[in-house]
Amino acid sequence: MNRQRIVVASNNAGKVREFNQLLEGSDIEIVPQSEFSVAEIEETGLTFVENALLKARNATQHTGLPAIADDSGLEVDALQGAPGIYSARYAGTKATDKENILKLLSSLRGVKDRQAAFMCVIAIAVPQGPALIYEGRCDGLITGEMRGGQGFGYDPVFCYPPLKKTFAEMTREEKNRVSHRGKAMVQLKDEFEKV
Ligand code: IMP
């Protein structure tokens, strides 16, 4: 089988792993941009779409291959949509997942409204031609404490009510079936012939 190589414009190991899992069994081969020494571009956009396009276009320009980028984050109702596009740097530019989670839990201490949504925009850029955009969303509730050891980022504090589990308590298949990234990816796979 002739596999189509696509560069993933991310150095986030958790994301690259999920892209690989989501594309398992397809004829797409994912290659991290680090293999081409593509440096991470600054995320100067003000929306998920702008940032996803910036990252995908940067990777395709440097490699000459189609590139896929995801910009994602957590929007919390009681925080007026924060941390949103700043999710990775909520507790500071070099913040760890744990530091971001602790800041989130302390911002929500005593707050009854725990409604939140994970958002994901996936952009595919090609050397010539327009980019394509796919969006996915997953609604849930922020827990009062961390639960589970799987996943990455805010997974231990994001509860998915239909399964009564945090994302970090789910198997990768369970998370991929319902997650923001999984939903955006289903659309991408359906339309892949366009690229
Ligand atoms: P960016 O898209 O690289 O700007 O970073 C997105 C940030 O949102 C990640 O670093 C995580 O903190 C968070 N995030 C995005 N998707 C997920 C997910 O599936 N689980 C947990 N956290 C996520």
pLDDT-derived band at 101 (thresholds 50, 70, 90) equals: very high
Q: Give the pLDDT confidence score for residue 18 in this predicted structure.
A: 82
Residues annotated as catalytic are 71
**Smallest CA separation from ligand 1 atom 14, residue:** 73
CB contact burial 146-175 (16+ within 10 A = b; e otherwise): bbbebbebbbbbbbbeeeebbbbbbeeebb
What value does the mean pLDDT of the chain take? Answer: 93
Confidence class for position 27, pLDDT limits 50, 70, 90: confident
User: Is a pLDDT exceeding 60 seen at residue 93?
Assistant: yes
Calculate how far, in angstroms, residue 15's C-alpha sits from the geometric centre of ligand 1: 8
The ligand 1 atom at the shortest distance from the C-alpha of residue 179 is: 19
Helix, strand, or coil (residue 158):
strand
80 has pLDDT over 60: yes
CA nearest to 151, candidates 21, 18, 7 = 18
Pocket of ligand 1 (CB under 6 A): 12, 43, 71-74, 87-88, 100, 118, 151-155, 167, 179, 181
Predicted structure pTM score:
0.92
Please determine, for residue 192, whether its predicted confidence score (pLDDT) is greater than 80.
Answer: no
Q: Tell me: pLDDT of 2 over 80.
A: no
User: Residue-wise over 78-117: b if at least 16 C-beta within 10 A, else e?
Assistant: ebeebbbbebbebbeeebebeebbbebeeebeeeeebebb
Q: Exposed, middle or buried, 130 (CB in 10 Å: 0-12/13-18/19+)?
A: exposed
